[in-house]
Structure 1
Amino acid sequence: MKAIKPMIVLFIAVAFVIIMIPAVLVLPFSSDKTSGKLDEQLEQKAKEEGKEVSTNEMSAVEVAVYRTSAKKIQKLPIESYLAGVVAAEMPADFEEEALKAQALTARTYIVDQLINDNRMGLPDGADVSDTVMHQVYMNNDELKKQWGSDYKWKMKKINKAIKETQGQILTYNGKPITATFFSTSNGYTENSEDYWEAEFPYLKSVSSPWDKDSPKFYNKMVVNAADFEKKLGVSLSSGTTIGTVIERTSGNRVGVVEIGGKKLTGKQIREKLGLKSSDFNWERQGNQIVITTKGYGHGVGMSQYGANGMAREGKNYEDIVKYYYKGVKVQSSSKWMNTMTAKK
């Protein structure tokens, strides 16, 4: 009997080990997985870090685009809309990180537009137009016509930028920003309050030296003196003097000009004469006014050629947007997408 007991104990111990080891190996990996908790935790972590929103969530939100030429409304998933915006707004041969920065600004713009319900100047049922009034948008047929044989590789590159920033937007104090952008600066971006009345803490003037390599950095325009007077509502003297710049902005653009006793802002002059920028110089040559501008666009927010220059130096898209928009965060659009989906 004494010899049998140890054998029984050994048998029981071996059996216990054989039964329990698989359970010990499986349990730590199965409990969360089978209940779905692990997937939820990973998804939540991704959202908190500003990563992708699920494809189903993104496709559930549509954008109603008013096609101005056809005078009809086209509805499409938000990410498809963004591909058409990035393709129309930024050259596809730009660096990938610049295209990602553009995708981020474009997505931020449309999310902000959708949640704020600002439909001024739009027909009923439209969320945005396809013009610079909102964001320029082109569909696949229009892009194929414009790009020809380059369509496939350009669209592939743009879709990659859209996918790799999927669901991400720019926020300030927990809200989507007004993500303005433009083509080329004069070497500096502009404070929002220096061009528009509204002041945004994240739209502040920064140096943008990369823009000097832009083919749009300089532009020359010739205006007939009579047209110049008519468009600006001024009277020119008989001499060569046109006006005096009495104020410049933080971005070194023309703030205020006095012409024959009348004061006009640089913005007013740019818009009335159709200038590329509000950083301009002019001289009178007989009956003609020769105007030279630096930069292309309003100058507020992200410079597209500046973004491309930063990308060429090795900066990523987050570096770019955080340089041009001060104090912002790259955040998931999940909660805003959920709100928009719930409205349907």
Structure 2
Amino acid sequence: MHPYRKRKQTANWKKGSLMGFSLLLILILVIPTLIVAPKTLQTSEKKVSVDQPEQRAVSTPTLSEKDSAFSVEVLRTSSNQNETVPLEDYVTRVVASEMPADFELEALKAQALAARTYIVNYLAHAGEEQQVTDTVQHQVYKDEQELKQAWGNDYQWKIKKIKQAVAKTVGEIITYDGQPITPAFFSTSNGYTENAEDYWENSLPYLKSVASPWDEDSPKFLDQKTITLKEVEKALGVTISNTNATLPVTKTESNRVKTIEIGGKTFTGRDLREKLELRSTDFEVTAKNDYLIFTTKGYGHGVGMSQYGANGMAKEGKSYQEIISYYYQGTKVASIEDTTPKLVVRK
């Protein structure tokens, strides 16, 4: 045999052996991996589901008729017909009508307590012939259809949020010395709430002036209204002869107008606010030609809970109980059943 051919055959044999060994090694390493891999992947997936728990939808508390201690008869001014509504549905619709739904949940809860307390207090002292209206005479109330019309496409999320606030406070009212209070509220203060006696003349221990700095963020904090001299004279029943004269003014503790002299007559700040339809009793008057310009701070009578103040407190993390105890000094949150059992019997 030729020497060269023998060496070549030997080299081929060695090359074949090496390839066979490599193939065997690959099979030894790869096959167990293919067998184990699915289990490893499965274990890994299980681990992910443990470390990252499944996100569950938070259910919104629902209101049923049994949640209501009694029903409320509301006189609908548009139809002059009475509408009978379970208490908690009434509270839901009052909150929806009185406070913006995009306010913080804790502010909405505080408003729910104010609305519920108002109607409980009113009915506890009202005579048989006294009616609850759907206007600011009592509390603004809109039914489901009116709210749908007012909110349009936003109805679902707004009513859901308000129902949540009401459901979380079912049956709770604000009390002072064990009795439901007069839970006055308004939109926006001038930086302080008003003493009850400085607006309504009767003093209430839980309706005292407190600082409310959050209101400066309200879009209703500042306003100007220009009124002709003739309109002012007609509304007030006076004759204004000297528009350059300084108007004598006295102020309340919260820097609102207590009294003001115009055209030789003295009026309370409340008189002027109501007769001239001003936003607040915190106002300054400037004369210009045949006009009087009224610059106001705040919106509303200023007594009790400021709604924008409540929202500001809620944004800072305060609870509805803290909001209530701040604006209604010395009060407690209690249940209707414990406070006014006679109303519950009416159910």
Shorter-normalised TM-score: what interval?
Answer: 0.7 to 0.9
Which of 78, 93, 113 is equivalent to 1:104? Answer: 113
Deviation at 1:204, TM superposition (A): 0.1
Which of 160, 166, 171 is equivalent to 1:162? Answer: 166
Listed as ranges, the matches of 1:1-344 within 5 Å are 58-118=67-127, 124=129, 127-241=131-245, 243-245=247-249, 247-336=250-339, 338-343=341-346
2 CA distance for matches of 1:58 and 1:337? 16
2 CA distance for matches of 1:236 and 1:60? 55
Query: Is the 2:69–2:171 Cα contact (8 Å) retained in structure 1?
Result: no
Deviation at 1:341, TM superposition (A): 3.5
Deviation at 1:266, TM superposition (A): 0.4
Deviation at 1:113, TM superposition (A): 1.0
Please list the CA deviations of residues 250-306 of structure 1 after superposition, one character each: whole Å capped at 9, or x if unmatched: 111000112233211100010110101000011111111111111000000000000
Matched-pair identity in %: 54
Query: Is the 1:190–1:299 Cα contact (8 Å) retained in structure 2?
Result: yes
Query: Is the 1:241–1:283 Cα contact (8 Å) retained in structure 2?
Result: no
- Larger mean Cα displacement after TM superposition, 187-196 or 58-67: 58-67
Q: Which amino acid aligns with 1:289?
A: L
TM-score (norm 2): 0.79
5+ residue gaps, structure 2, are 1-62
2 CA distance for matches of 1:110 and 1:127? 11
Please list the CA deviations of residues 223-276 of structure 1 after superposition, one character each: whole Å capped at 9, or x if unmatched: 11011112112221234226221x101111000112233211100010110101
TM-score (norm 1): 0.80
1 CA distance for matches of 2:243 and 2:73? 54
1 CA distance for matches of 2:324 and 2:193? 13
2 CA distance for matches of 1:118 and 1:280? 38
1 CA distance for matches of 2:108 and 2:255? 27
Structure whose alpha-carbon radius of gyration is higher: 2
Please list the CA deviations of residues 151-210 of structure 1 after superposition, one character each: whole Å capped at 9, or x if unmatched: 000000000000101111000000000000000001100000000021100000000000
1:190 aligned counterpart, secondary structure:
coil
Query: Is the 2:233–2:240 Cα contact (8 Å) retained in structure 1?
Result: yes
Deviation at 1:331, TM superposition (A): 0.7
Do the aligned partners of residues 79 and 264 (structure 1) sit closer, same or farther apart at CA in structure 2, a change above 3 Å counting?
same
2 CA distance for matches of 1:55 and 1:334? 17
